Amino acid sequence: AIKNLSSLKKLSVLGHGNNGTTVYKVHHKKNQSFYALKVLRFNHNALEISHQAKLEAEILKRVDSPYIVRCHAVFDNTCCDSHEDGGDLRFVMEYMEGGSLHDVLRQHKGGLPEEVISVLAKRVLQGLNYLHGMHIVHRDIKPSNLLVNEKGEVKIADFGVSHVVEGRFDEACDSNVGTCAYMSPERVDPERWDGEYADGFAGDVWSVGMVMLECFLGYFPLMSDEGQKLDWATLMCAICFSEKVEMPEKASLEFKHFVQRCLEKDWRKRATITELLDHPFVNRKWCTSSEGLVNYLLHG
C-alpha cells in the first residue's frame, strides 16, 4: 500500500486537464513500480468543482474491475478555511504505459483495423456494464479517457464528470461540463426528449458509437465537408438534428450495424449495453493473435 506521497518521485507529466488537473508519472522506490498521480487543484471559490472532484474520488475508491483504471490511494488535501488556496486532491493510479486511445489514434492516422476495434469495443462495453451495474454513468467516454497498458488492455479512466444515478434524468444531466463532441442528442438538448424515465446510461452508449467510428476513420466523424472541425453550434446541431451519421463504405456490415445501433438518436430505441455485448461485431473470431493486438496498439 502507498501510505504517503513523499514516497513517490515525480518523473514526468503525462497529461493536463481543463480544471487545473495534472497527471504525473511517478516512481515508488520501495515497490519498484511506476504509478500515475492525478492532482486536482482548487481555489477557494471552486466549490462546485470540488464537489464533483470528491465524487470522482468516491467512485475511484468504490470501483474494482479489470476494465477500469485502478486507483491505489486517494489523498485529500482540500481545505475550506484558506482564502487563497483550496488545496488539492491526489489520486495514485495504475500507470497505463500505452497512453490514451487519443495518442494511439494520432499514431494511426488512417484508422485502426476492425479486429482491433472489436477488442477495444468489447472491453469498453464490459467496463460500462460494470459501471452501470453500480449506477454510475460515466458521461465522458472519449479517446483521451480510454487508456492502454503494456499488455494491450484498454481501460476506462477519468470520472471527472461522472454521475451516480438517483433516478431522475435532469439531475443526471444538469451540468454542462466535459467535452460536447461525444455527447448524445438527449444530453445536448434534454428538452427535445421526454427525459422523465431516462437515466443517462444510453448517453454512454452513444459515445461508444462515436469513439468506435473515430477509431475506424482515424478522425472525429462529425466534420465539415472540407474536413475541418465544426464550430460548437454546428456540432451540436449535427448531433441533434442532422441525418444519420454516414457510415464508411468499406466497413463490414457488422461494424456498420454496431455503430448505427449506438448512434440511434432516440435514446429509447438505442441499443443497450446488453444488446451490444451480444452483437456479432464484438463476438467475431478474429485471426489476429493477442500479441498482434498489443503490437498494434503500443508500437504502431
Which parts of this chain interact with Mg ion (CB under 5 A)? 145, 158
Residue recorded with cell 456494464:
129
Residue 10 C-beta: closest distance to ligand ADP, Å: 14
76 counts as catalytic: no
Q: Which of 88, 140, 158, 199 is catalytic?
A: 140
Q: What mask of x and - would describe binding to ligand ADP in positions 2 to 21, judged by CB under 6 A?
A: ------------xx-x---x
**Nearest residue to the partner ligand ADP, using Cβ:** 17
Give the whole-angstrom CA distance, residue 243 versus residue 141: 23
Under the criterion CB under 6 A, does residue 160 sit at the interface with ligand ADP? yes
Site for ligand ADP, residues 18 to 37, rule: CB under 6 A: 21, 23, 36
Among residues 38, 41, 90, 187, the one that binds ligand ADP under rule CB under 6 A? 38
- Residue 266's SS3 state is coil
For residue 261, give the C-alpha cell: 445501433
Among residues 60, 93, 112, 263, the one that binds ligand ADP under rule CB under 6 A? 93
Residue 145 C-beta: closest distance to Mg ion, Å: 5
Give the whole-angstrom CA distance, residue 116 versus residue 93: 25
Under the criterion CB under 6 A, does residue 65 sit at the interface with ligand ADP? no
3-class SS string, 183-236: CCHHHHCHHHCCHHHCCCHHHHHHHHHHHHHHHHHCCCCCECCCCCECCHHHHH
Please state whether 291 falls in left (phi above 0), alpha (psi between -120 and 50) or beta.
alpha
Q: What stretches of 25-100 show up as alpha helix (H) in DSSP?
A: 47-62
Under the criterion CB under 6 A, does residue 96 sit at the interface with ligand ADP? yes
Active-site amino acid positions? 140
Binding site for ligand ADP (CB under 6 A): 14-15, 17, 21, 23, 36, 38, 69, 93-96, 99-100, 144-145, 147, 157-158, 160
